[in-house]
Structure 1
């Protein structure tokens, strides 16, 4: 039995490695799991209908006890069908994960990420340089004492006798 499992695992891994066989492997396994889920649902429906029809002494007259009992007995089959559908989704996720981790795809994604990072860094450096240049131009002193220029160069110039701001007035 272990030899059978080993060959099945090896065959599955080889099928995932080849792009042409990957889709076939996915369709085969996903299809068998979904067929099993449908079979479990059909069995659960038939069993639930049969158990609802069986009355037991002590049941309530309108059949509520029988339907609750039937639902309770069928729940493991419904859970098995749900697990099969979840396993079919896992097959899809496995194939997608395998495709995402192909060496060519990973290398291309890393190169794209590094390029975008370099572009963002270059844009930030340009913005910082422009901001610094504008600040320096604004704070540059006048060439002559009477000519208009940027802001005053000393902090005392803000509070001198010619200042527009007066405290306490």
Structure 2
């Protein structure tokens, strides 16, 4: 029996490693898990309806006790169905992990990351250079001979003549 499990595991890993067989492996295993989940749900529905119909002495009227007892008894089946659906989602995660760790995908992702980092670094350098240029222009010697060298220019200097405007 262990040889059977070992060979199934080995063939599963080999199928995951090959891009052409990966989708088939995923569809097969995911489909079987979802089919099992549906079977457990159907079985739980049948058992629950059967147990609801069985009334015992001492039950509350209107079948409240029978319905509660039925829900309690089919809870393990519902949990099994939920676990099968969770396992089907895990199959997708395993396949995604194999796709994400392909050497060419990892290399491309790293190159894209380095390119984006270089672009951001260049943009930050350009912004710093432009900021420094603006500061140097603001602190440059005055435009007329009477202005002292290095005199800072005021915001009002950028609005034309030195007349005060309304609201200013």
Match of 1:47 in 2: 47
Match of 1:85 in 2: 85
Distance 1:43 1:143, change over 3 A: closer
Question: 1:69-95: per-residue Cα shift (whole Å, max 9, x none)?
Answer: 000000000000000001001101111
Distance 1:143 1:61, change over 3 A: closer
Match of 2:120 in 1: 120
Q: Following the alignment from structure 2 to structure 1, what is the Cα–Cα distance between the partners of residues 139 and 43?
A: 84
List 4+ stretches of structure 1 deviating above 2 A.
Answer: 141-145, 147-153
1:19 Cα shift? 1.2
TM alignment of 1:6-155, pairs within 5 A: 6-142=6-142, 145-147=145-147, 151-152=151-152
Query: Is the 1:16–1:95 Cα contact (8 Å) retained in structure 2?
Result: yes
Question: 1:128-156: per-residue Cα shift (whole Å, max 9, x none)?
Answer: 01100110110123376514876349xxx
Q: Following the alignment from structure 2 to structure 1, what is the Cα–Cα distance between the partners of residues 118 and 152?
A: 38
Query: Is the 2:138–2:152 Cα contact (8 Å) retained in structure 1?
Result: no
Alignment: residue pair count: 153
TM-score normalized with structure 1 length? 0.85
Distance 1:146 1:77, change over 3 A: same
Query: Is the 1:137–1:150 Cα contact (8 Å) retained in structure 2?
Result: no
